Structures are given as C-alpha cells and as structure tokens.
C-alpha cells in the first residue's frame, strides 16, 4: 500500500520522528521494537540539520522493522532512496526560495528515476513562542499563531497548487502546542490530509490534535526522552 493511501484511510495515525543527529542505536532499537508491536504507524526520518549519513540510518531501521520509513528532509543531503517514501516539503509559510523550490531541484531527477514514493507536501510553520530550529535554519518567519485566516489561506494555496498533504508544524521542541481552533478551521477548509506536529508534551496534547482534525500526529522530542511512552500514546490515539 502506498503511504498516501494509508494516510487517506479513516484512521488516526501516529508517526514517530527520528532525528538522525540524535538517534543512538539503543534509541532506534526501542523505537523499532514499539513499531513491531503495532504501536507506530509511520517512522519519519529527518531534521533541520544533519551531520550523519541518512542512508545508514534508514538501512538500520529497515533491518529492524517493516513499518514504513518516510523521509522528512530539511536539506537535499537527507534524501535516501532506501526509504519507502519522502515528504517532498515546500515551506509555503516562508519566502525563502531555497525551501520553496530551490533545494528540490537538486534531487528531482534522482527521485523521478527511482521507485521511492514522492508525496508533495505543503509545509507550514506556526509561531510557538520560542525560535525553533526550522525557523533559524530556513531563515523564515512562522505565521503568527493568532492569524488563522493566513494559515488557512496558505494551506488552501498549497492544495490548489497540487500538494497531496499539508504539514502544520510548531517546530522541533516547540514550547507551545498548536491551538485546537486553528487546526479545526484548517481541517474544515482542506480536502487533503493534515499532518500536525511540534509541541506535544502530553497525551492530552496529542488527543487535542487528533480530535481537532489531524490525520497524522507526529511526535519526536518527547519520545527521544522516553520511548516507553509510545504504547500508551498509541492506544489513546485510537480512541479519538
């Protein structure tokens, strides 16, 4: 089954984000053990900046689990053809041409001529009080959290441009979760699936994202600190 078809199913999905720079073997092993027990739907791999060879990490993960590995790249160097799919992210909330289209040019032929599933994704960064890694590295400003009309219009522009997904992000390690009303307003207007991540610190945060309309909830930082939380979070997500 294609990843996009899996996301289109009428089920809330839990994606765990693995940052290549923070992924020690023991952490990966625990994450994959949870995946093999059915507590993870998708494994996202990527980060704002990466100093390690992503190919090796993807290969290591795939040796431990059959759960789909999806690239969440912050730079062309994070592309690996060993992954099952790639979120072909365009940072549509910003005005940096490199993150809108520039970086994509470097890998377009590579992706076109290989079987990896490419999913065009409109990436929207929302203000979360602190300066996040994505904001700093991309040299773009997030959309203010209280400007729901701008967020909605930006997402709709992405959909009309042909994006298959919208990824609403508070940023890695965000100090504030995304407002539920913003997610509801966005979901009411979109005809394509919505991924939401950033700022999740509790089960209640995750449930709020899901109940407000997120098709996929992404958690990274929280599970980096404690992988044992994954089963409890997954089971609660299925109640939404």
CB 240 within 8 A of CB 12: yes
Give which of 91, 119, 96, 93 is closest to 5, Cα–Cα: 119
Point out which residues pair with 120 in neighbouring strands.
88
Q: For residue 1, what pLDDT is reported?
A: 81
Q: For residue 137, what pLDDT is reported?
A: 87
Q: For residue 80, what pLDDT is reported?
A: 95
Residues of the chain with pLDDT under 70: 50-51, 171-176
Provide the residue range defining the domain that includes 221: 3-226
**Tell me: the pLDDT tens digits for 204-231?**
999 999 999 999 999 999 999 899 999 9
Residue 68 domain flag: yes
CA-based diameter of the chain, in Å? 44
Residue 115 domain flag: yes
**Residue 42's domain is classified under what CATH number?**
3.20.20.390
Domain count, the chain: 1
**Which strand (E) or helix (H) includes residue 43?**
strand 42-45
């Amino acid at each position: 089954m294609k990843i996009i078809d899996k996301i289109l199913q009428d089920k809330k999905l839990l994606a765990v984000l693995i940052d290549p720079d923070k992924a020690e073997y023991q952490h990966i092993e625990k994450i994959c053990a949870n995946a093999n027990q059915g507590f993870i739907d998708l494994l996202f791999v990527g980060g704002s900046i990466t100093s390690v060879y992503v190919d090796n990490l993807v290969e290591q993960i795939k040796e431990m689990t059959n759960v789909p590995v999806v690239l969440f790249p912050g730079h062309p160097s994070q592309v690996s053809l060993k992954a099952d799919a790639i979120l072909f992210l365009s940072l549509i909330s910003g005005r940096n041409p490199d993150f809108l289209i520039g970086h994509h040019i470097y890998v377009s032929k590579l992706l076109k001529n290989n079987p990896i599933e490419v999913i065009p994704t409109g990436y929207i960064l929302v203000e979360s009080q602190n300066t996040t890694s994505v904001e700093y590295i991309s040299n773009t400003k997030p959309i203010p959290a209280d400007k729901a009309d701008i967020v909605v219009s930006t997402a709709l522009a992405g959909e009309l441009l042909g994006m298959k997904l919208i990824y609403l992000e508070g940023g890695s390690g965000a100090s504030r979760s995304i407002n539920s009303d913003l997610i509801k307003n966005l979901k009411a207007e979109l005809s394509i699936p919505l991924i939401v991540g950033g700022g999740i610190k509790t089960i209640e945060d995750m449930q709020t994202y899901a109940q407000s309309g997120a098709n996929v909830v992404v958690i990274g930082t929280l599970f980096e600190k404690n992988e044992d939380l994954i089963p409890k979070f997954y089971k609660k997500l299925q109640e939404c």
